[in-house]
Structure 1
Amino acid sequence: MFKAYARAKINLTLDILGKRPDGFHQVEMVMQSIKMYDQLEFTPEPETISLTVPGGEVSDRSDNLVCRAASLLRSYAGIKCGARIKLSKEIPVEAGLGGGSADAAATLMMLNKMWGTGISLPELMLLGEKLGSDIPFCLRGGTALAKGRGEQLEVLPPCPRLGLVLVKPPFGVSTASVYYAYKPELVLKKPETGAMIKAIKDKNVGDIVRNLGNALEPVTTMMHPEVANIKEKLLDAGALGALMSGSGPTVFGIATSLEAACRIASRYQSSGERVLVTETYNEEMSGP
């Protein structure tokens, strides 16, 4: 049996530069892996690809990104191998944390190893791009600047280790619907991607907090005003800064350490939201 950890992500910045001819939006965003993960277990099978999801939080059918990633890799490699896959979910669903993309990325990476297909990381990233714009980042992980649809990556120096309080309201958000509703005039403060990159390179936590920005936040907040309330409550609980991740609706609060994040979470006044504590993750950190 082979085991993989599929790590969630947050967006420290997310800017939209315009609409592309293919209908997608041109984005520029600083992405960061976090320690929260889903766990996947892979067992070789002669030909069949099957998926089980204890708890049934997501589909276990062929439309799941895990099954699609496995089928795509097998087709690309021209093999007939199969796999029995078990997906244990910890990352909230439809939350703006890239859980589905992370699961697909872990599947591509681990089946490439289990099946011995010998496909390079750049090739895997190109395959992943066919399934979702965040999958190339999830394959590489760490800290990165993402451009294009999100698939064009520039590796950045590791972000300083930060404690995080994630607050997920009791509803999900469709990424497509948020992008569809986006209008430039909704963005009152444009994200400063260059300033965020400088802050990360300088390891200046204060500047990282000051340059948090997400052009999609006002769109999701217009649909769900609870997002603004969550931000306010995180700041009231002691977070250094707070921002919606991706298309939302999860909001993360930043702390100087995991211990500080735990204290913020204990002070947070929940109104039915799911409150989770984690931290930023880069490869030099040990353990799962």
Structure 2
Amino acid sequence: MITRKAYAKINLGLDVTGRRDDGYHIVRMIMQNVDIYDTLTFEKNDLGKIRLTANKDTIPTDEHNLIYKVCALLMEKYDIKDGVDVHLEKRIPVAAGMAGGSTDGAAAFYGMKELFDLPITQEEMCEMAVKLGADIPYCIMGGTMLSEGIGEVLTALPDMPDCYILVGKPDINVSTGWVYTELDSKEIEFHPDIDGMCDAIGSGDLGGVCQRLSNVLEPVTKSKYDIIGKIEALMEDGGAVRSIMTGSGPTVFGIFDDEDKLKKAYDKVKESGYCPELFMSKPVNPKY
């Protein structure tokens, strides 16, 4: 049996600089893995089939799941006759702006590579993955990354400065498509300082990182769901240096320079009932 961890991501910075003719948005983002993860297990079967199971019955286990798609893609490419049984223990919040589906797809590339001893490189994985989802190449590489293009142009950055991160998802689901449609209908008033963020990370300046936390999608989602601002305020009242929404939302994270402050804010947010899914975490670099 092969076991893989699939780590969630947050966006320290997210800018949208244009839109391609095919509808994909051109982005500049700083992506960071956090120590919140799903667990995938892989075993061969002699049926020649993909059998996917999950610990939550709301998760599709057919060809609509990225894990299934990756397994099918690799089985066809490498003419694999054996089947594979995959079980997903889902912990990352669903529809949360944390790349939960994409990171599971990335883990499937690694799980299949190890299970069947496939001669596939990270670069080849990324080339195949971008056709399935723009976030999957980042999830394959992991760590602290500058992500450009539609998300597939990746530049590794030094590890994020040590800190503590509180992650909370309110009990709402946000349509990414709706957020980007709304964004397209407005003029972006402020663009994040992505280059300055890269410099702050490079110099190990946590304060500089927090000062530049910014997400152009946040005003769109926040305008419809005021709970996002309430969660951010609670985290900052509890001691977060800064708090911000990740991705298209609705998940919010706060960065802390002290573990006691993290625990205090956790208790505040937990008591509020705003976030049924709430995690104390740290940045990680999986070093695949």
**What range is the shorter-chain TM-score in?**
over 0.9
Q: Which residue of 2 aligns with 1:30?
A: 30
Partner residue of 1:279? 282
**How far off is 1:76 after superposition?**
2.1
Contact 2:237 2:265 (8 Å CA) reproduced: no
TM-superposed CA distance for 1:272, in Å, is 3.7
Does the CA-based 8 Å contact 2:43-2:86 persist in structure 1? yes
Report the counterpart of residue 200 of structure 2 in structure 1: 199
Amino acid across the alignment from 2:183? Y
Q: Which amino acid in structure 2 is aligned with residue 244 of structure 1?
A: M
- Which digits, 9 at most, give the CA deviation of each residue in 1:17-51, with x for residues without a partner? 01112111100000001111000010111211011
Contact 1:164 1:258 in 2 (8 A): no
Match of residue 126 from structure 2: 125
Given the superposition, is the C-alpha separation of residues 99 and 41 from structure 1 closer, same or farther in structure 2, using an over 3 Å criterion? Answer: same
User: Could you say what secondary structure the match of 1:40 adopts?
Assistant: strand
Name the CA distance, whole Å, in 2 between partners of 1:273 and 1:144: 28
For residues 204-227 of structure 1, what are the alpha-carbon distances to aligned partners after superposition, in whole Å with 9 as ceiling and x for unaligned? Answer: 011110000001001111222221
1:15–1:28: 8 Å Cα contact kept in structure 2? yes
- Alignment of 1:16 onto 2:16: yes
Partners in 1 of 2:72 and 2:215 — Cα distance? 34
Equivalent position SS for 2:266: helix
Residue pair 1:258, 1:279 contacting (<8 A) in 2 also: no
Amino acid in structure 2 at the alignment position of 1:222:
S
Shift of 1:258: 4.5
Matches within 5 A, 1:110-149: 110-149=111-150
- Return the TM-score normalized by structure 2: 0.94
Contact 1:186 1:218 (8 Å CA) reproduced: no
In the alignment, the residues of structure 1 paired with residue 251 and residue 34 of structure 2 have an alpha-carbon distance, to the nearest angstrom, of 14
Cα displacement (A) at 1:128: 1.0
Distance 2:263 2:81 in 1: 47
Letter in 2 for 1:15: D
Q: Please tell me whether the aligned partners of residues 32 and 143 of structure 1 are also in contact (alpha carbons under 8 angstroms).
A: yes
| Aligned mates of 1:18, 1:228 — CA distance in 2 | 27
For the residues of structure 2 that align with 1:93 and 1:162, how far apart are their CA atoms?
Answer: 25
Q: CA deviation at 1:148?
A: 0.7
**Closer/same/farther in 2, CA of residues 238 and 184 from structure 1, 3 Å limit:** farther
With over 3 angstroms needed to count, the CA separation of the structure-2 counterparts of 1:139 and 1:257, relative to structure 1, is: farther
| Cα distance in 2, alignment partners of residues 98 and 237 from structure 1 | 27
Change (3 A) 1:187 1:162: farther
Counterpart Cα distance in 1 of 2:71 and 2:170: 31
Deviates more, 1:150-159 or 1:231-240: 231-240
SS at match of 1:147: strand
1:267 CA drift (Å):
2.7
Kept in 1: contact 2:238–2:262 (CA 8 A): no
CA offset digits 1:61-105 (Å, max 9, x no partner): 221111011111212223223110000011000000111000000
How big is the shift at 1:283? 3.5
From 264, 269, 272, the equivalent of 1:270 is 272
Gap regions ≥5 residues in structure 1: none
1:99 aligned residue: 100
CA contact (8 A) 1:164 1:279 kept: yes
Structure 2 match to 1:56: 57
Change (3 A) 1:187 1:226: farther
The aligned residue for residue 254 of structure 2 is 253
Aligned CA-pair RMSD: 1.6
Contact 1:161 1:257 in 2 (8 A): no
Report the Cα distance in structure 2 between the residues aligned to 1:259 and 1:130, rounded to whole angstroms. 43
Aligned residue in 1 for 2:79:
78
With 176-185 and 207-216 compared, the bigger mean Cα shift is at 176-185
* Distance in structure 2 (CA, Å) of the matches to 1:259 and 1:48: 49
SS state of the match for residue 228, structure 1?
Answer: helix
Number of equivalent positions: 285
Q: After superposition, what is the alpha-carbon deviation per residue over 1:139-178, rounded to whole angstroms, capped at 9, x for unaligned? A: 1100000001111100111111221111101011122221
**Deviant stretches of 4+, over 6 Å:** none
